[in-house]
Chains A and B, each alone.
Chain A
Amino acid sequence: MQLGELEKQVLEYLWKTQPSDAKQVYGYFEKNRGGSLNTIQSTLERLFKKSLLVRVKNGHAYQYSPKIERQELIGQLIKNVTNDFVTEDENSVIAAFSSISSDLDEQQLDKLELMIELQRQKLQNNNQ
């Protein structure tokens, strides 16, 4: 899913403000960007269909607001794109990663750091 420039701007606007209807969003973009109410309405509709916005009917108009906060959405995307293909039977990389989070504890990291430092000193001595 790709966001068009206007979609991105509308989403950014809604992240910063309270729930708004199409007219309120248009009111903001009319001053800053131009365009028509129809364009804003269809942009909001597209963002809603992409499941990025939620809406509640208020009188005759819909009030739109972001489904989740910006940071949360990005966090979820990072988590998904780096985790989408996890399958229980394919834990080849799990072992490596677990070793970082559990087996490879602070002490082991310190040990590796010390090893790097010793190599650095050795290199310095050889160069002198």
Chain B
Amino acid sequence: MIYGQWALTFNLLTVGLLAFIVANIFVSSVFWFIKRKLKDYTVSTRKSLLWLFVLTPWFIAINVTIFFSPLFQNGSVFNWLTDLAHWHHPDIFYFMSWHNFSLLIFIAFSLYVSMKKMLELYKNHYQLKLLRSLGTKKNKQVTIIESAIPTAFTGGLFKPTCFVSTALTEQMNTDELEIIIQHELAHVHYSDPMKKWLFSFFSAYFINNIKRSFISMMSLSMEQDADSFFVENQQQSHNIASTLIKFTRLAANYAIHPQSKNELFVHFYRDSLEKRVLHLLHDKQFKPFPIGGVLIALLLLTIISTTSVDSLHHVIETLFTH
């Protein structure tokens, strides 16, 4: 058992963790109910909403922790709310308590996720450098790799590079190749490998089904965004769609790893081909960013998380002692 400032710090971390869990459940439920409707929004809105989903538990946890800190709990302005949301014995912390065990589990999980992601990054960086060394630079951002595998991808977190294989340069015509390279350059422009990696890190805190849906939707949105990055007219959309089909036929013959996924790489042909082709062909009117809905949901979530921390605390303590 400890007292004083350190006890307060550990208690605040426990508060943050409880708020994180509440927000995570809330976000997961909301996402599960509205996920089919997300396709009605523009690609950029969809991407923003997905980022909002994965980051919200962290924002809420930080806000609730600040609210429970002496900074707010001692102020008279929030008296009405501190009656609802407060933490008993904030300056006493028991090491042999559910508070401490939950914190330890969370820290261990975070360390596991961080190390796993860093290891992926290191291996990826190492192999990319070798691939760059063996390839021929076409220009600053595009490297041609001599290989019979038809492939094009963008990799590298800080200095992304587009890799295009010679099999592709030989089997696609100049226009098609230009489309593929432009698509990959769009990923470089958006820093997609870095964003994909970060997104997969934050998604790791959700249950598997939700995590898969998040990653799948973000991946598809990034591809669709890159598909339409250089599109200026409908004819270009048709050409990109045709190139996608041709590339898919070529790639299907060389399915080197049919069950693959990778957050650090962005493939031209991967992700739901049909959705991408339809997105390019259809001139659908998309909904704007649902700012009202988002603000209401965030407000509701902040209130629920803040007020439920104390109740949750009591519920847990009916089952466990400190």
Please give the residue numbers on chain A whose beta carbons come within 8 Å of chain B beta carbons, in ascending order.
Answer: 1-3, 7-8, 70-71, 73-75, 77-86, 89-101, 104, 108-109, 112-113, 115-116, 119-120, 123
Contacts and interface: CB of A to CB of B under 8 A. Distances in A.
A100 B269 contact: yes
B148 A71 contact: yes
A109 B259 CA distance: 20
- Label chain B's interface by main secondary structure: helix
Nearest to A111: B274
Nearest to B146: A74
A95 B270 CA distance: 10
A98 B148 CA distance: 21
Contact of B147 (A75, A85, A91): A75
B155 A83 contact: no
Given A97-B270, A109-B248, A112-B245, 8 more contacts: A78-B149, A78-B256, A81-B124, A84-B262, A90-B211, A100-B273, A109-B249, A115-B281
**Size band of the interface chain B makes with A:** 35 or more
B281 A119 contact: yes
A115 B269 contact: no
Nearest to A88: B259
B317 to A, nearest CB: 33
A89 B259 CA distance: 12
Given A98-B259, A116-B238, A116-B242, A81 B211 contact: no
A80 B238 CA distance: 32
Contacts of B149: 75, 78
A89 B208 contact: yes
Given A86-B260, A99-B272, A116 B277 contact: yes
Contacts of A104: 248, 273-274
A92 B265 contact: no
A80 B125 CA distance: 11
Contact of B146 (A70, A97, A98, A119): A70
Contacts of A92: 211-216, 219, 261
Contacts of B215: 90, 92-93
A78 B259 contact: no
A83 B260 contact: yes
Interface of B: 120, 123-124, 126-134, 145-149, 151, 153, 155, 163, 165, 200, 208, 211-216, 219-220, 234-235, 238, 241-242, 245, 248-249, 251-252, 255-265, 267, 269-274, 277, 281
A119 B238 contact: yes
Contact of A78 (B129, B151, B274): B151
14 contacts: A1-B126, A1-B127, A8-B133, A71-B148, A78-B165, A84-B120, A90-B211, A92-B211, A92-B216, A93-B262, A93-B270, A96-B272, A96-B273, A119-B234
Given A77-B127, A108-B274, A101 B256 contact: no
Contact of A112 (B146, B262, B277): B277
Contacts of A77: 127, 130-131, 134
Contacts of B255: 101
A119 B278 CA distance: 11
A91 to B, nearest CB: 6
A78 B145 contact: yes
Of residues B120, B262, B264, which shows the largest number of chain A Cβ atoms within 10 Å of its Cβ?
B262
